[in-house]
Structure 1
Amino acid sequence: MQETTRIFGIRAVIEAIESDKSIEKIYVQKGLSGSLFHQLNEHLKTGNFPVSFVPIEKLNKLSKGGNHQGVVAQISPVNFVELEQLVTRVTQSKKAPLFLLLDGITDVRNFGAIIRTAECCGVDGIIFPEKGSAQLNADTIKTSAGAAFKVPLCKVNHIKDAIFHLQSYNIKTVAATEKTNETIYALDLKQPVAIIMGNEAKGVSNSVLKSVDFKGKLPMLGSIESLNVSVACGALLYEVVRQRL
C-alpha cells in the first residue's frame, strides 16, 4: 500500500499546488510571514485546501527535523478524476451506470469500507464533496484493501451540483434515508442510478433530499434505529447487484 506523501518547504508546496497534486492537508506555522509565504497564501485564499495553522513543534514532528520553512503538506497517493470526464466516459461505455455519492461521510474507516464494498459491487465512480468529508489518507486506503486505487474517485464542490449533472444524463438519483415510507426493495435499480449515502449522524442533508429522484430505506426490525453507514451502503449496493443479476 502506498502511504500518503508528506512534503515540506514553501516552494515545494507551491509547486505541488501549481501541478494540481491532490493535496489532503496543509500545515502552516502560526505567524508565518515573508514574500514567499505571501505567494503561497495567495494560493491558499483562492483554493479549497484544508489548512491548519499550528505551532512550530508540530511542523518539526511532521517533517522529522527537515527544513520545512514553516509549511508541510500531505499529498494523497490517489489521483482524482473530474466529474464531467467520469460521467461522460461511463455513460458512453455502459447502458446502466452505477454511481455512489457520499454526503458528508466523516470517518476514515467508514470511508475505506465503503470504497471496498463499492469496488466489489461494480460501482463506476464514487463522488464526494471537497469539504466536510473524511480525508483519503493511509487509514482510508488500508481499510479499502487497495480498492481506492481501482474505483474512480471524484471530489466536487457541492453534492447537489453533482446530482444535477448526473440527472442531466438521465441517471436516477436515490437517497438512502429513513425519511420515506418506500423501501429500497421497491425501487427499480436496474436503470442507470446513483445511490446517495449520508453523514454518520445526520444522514442525507435536507437540501440533497429535495433534489433527488427517489428515496428508499432499509427496513429495521430490531430496536436500534439505524445501521452503520458502511453496512447500510453494502446492503443497498448489493440490492442493486441482486436486481441486475
Structure 2
Amino acid sequence: MKKKMKKNLKRENRNEIDYMHQIEGRNPVREALKSGRPIEKIFVSKGELSGSIGEIIKLAKKEKLVVQYMDRSKLDEMSICHSHQGVIAIASAHEYVEVEDILNLARQKGEDPFVILLDEITDPHNLGSILRTADASGAHGVIIPKRRSVGLTPIVAKSSAGAIEYVPVAKVTNMVQTIEYLKEEGLWIAAAEMEGEEYYYQKNLKGPIGIVIGSEGKGIGRLVKQKSDFLLKIPMLGKVSSLNAAIAGAILMYEVRRQRNLMG
C-alpha cells in the first residue's frame, strides 16, 4: 500500500510538471510535428512502425528528432490521458532562438557577446542550473546541440528557477560549425578542460567570448576542443578528479563577469 501511494505521488508530481508539454496519440503528435512545434523527444511503442506511426517516425527523422522505442507497458505508465495509441511526444518547455538572435541581443545592449556553449550536456538539472547562472552572470545566451543533449524539457524549466524565460537558447545541428561561425563574428572560444593549458583566472576573458562546457563523463569532444582558441583548467586540490558541469560552468561564467566588471 505504501509503495502504491509513493508511485501515485510520483505520478502526480510528474504530471504537474509535464501535462502541458506531453502530447499523446497519433493525430496530435503528427499534427504537432507538421505545425513545426518544438519537440524534444518522441516515444514509440516497440513493434508499431506502420501506418500513421510510420509517418510520425519519418517526420521525426526529417527534423533530426530523437525517437525512443519502448515497451507499451512503459508508455502506459507515462501516459496522462491513457489513450496514447503507441506514441507520446515531449514538447519543448520554451521556444528556441537562432544563434544570430543571441549575438543581436548583445549588440542591442551595446555589449560584447558573452555566449555559453554546451557540448553534450544530458542531465536536465545541469542544464537548468547553467541557465540560472547564465542569467545571473549576464550571459547573452546558451547554445546546445540537437543530438546527444538534453533540450528545454519541463524538468529543465523547473531546475532553472525561471531563468528559462530570460536566457535565449539556440539549438544547432553542428557545434563545430557554430564555433567557426562565432569566431568569424569576432568571438574568442574558451573551453573548460581538465588538461587545459592555463588556469581560468590567468587568461584574459574580456571582449567577445564563448565559454564551452562539456559533459561530466566525456568532457569536450575532440573536434570542439580543436576548434577552441584556448583550453582552461580549474584547480582541483581534493581527491575527486572533476567538477559537476554546472559548477564548472558557474566558475567560468563568473570569471568572465569579474573581468568585465574590472574593465568597467
Q: Where does the alignment leave 5 or more consecutive residues of structure 2 unmatched? A: 1-16
Residue 40 of structure 1 aligns with which residue?
A: 56
Taking structure 1 as the reference length, the TM-score comes to: 0.91
Paired residue secondary structure (1:26): strand
Asked whether 1:114 is paired with 2:151, we answer no
Paired residue secondary structure (2:198): coil
Q: 2:96 pairs with 44, 57, 80, which one?
A: 80
Per-residue deviation, 1:183: 1.4
CA RMSD of aligned residues (A): 2.0
Distance between the aligned counterparts of 1:79 and 1:111, measured in 2?
A: 15
Q: 2:148 pairs with 99, 116, 132, which one?
A: 132
Q: 1:149 pairs with 165, 182, 201, which one?
A: 165
For residue 204 of structure 1, what is the amino acid of its counterpart?
I
Q: After alignment, is 178-187 or 204-213 more displaced?
A: 178-187
Per-residue deviation, 1:65: 4.8
Per-residue deviation, 1:3: 6.1
Q: After alignment, is 190-199 or 37-46 more displaced?
A: 37-46
Distance between the aligned counterparts of 2:44 and 2:95, measured in 1?
A: 24
Residue 220 of structure 1 aligns with which residue?
A: 236
**Is the contact made by 1:4 and 1:76 (CA closer than 8 Å) also made in structure 2?**
no
Moved >6 Å (runs of 4+): none
Q: After alignment, is 190-199 or 87-96 more displaced?
A: 87-96
Distance between the aligned counterparts of 2:113 and 2:127, measured in 1?
A: 21
Residue 120 of structure 2 aligns with which residue?
A: 104
Distance between the aligned counterparts of 1:142 and 1:89, measured in 2?
A: 24
Asked whether 1:165 is paired with 2:165, we answer no
Per-residue deviation, 1:89: 4.1
**Is the contact made by 1:99 and 1:125 (CA closer than 8 Å) also made in structure 2?**
yes
Q: Where does the alignment leave 5 or more consecutive residues of structure 1 unmatched? A: none
For residue 168 of structure 2, what is the amino acid of its counterpart?
P
Q: Deviations over 1:19-38 (max 9, x none)?
A: 22121211112222553233
User: Identity across aligned pairs (percent)?
Assistant: 36
Taking structure 2 as the reference length, the TM-score comes to: 0.85
Per-residue deviation, 1:222: 2.9
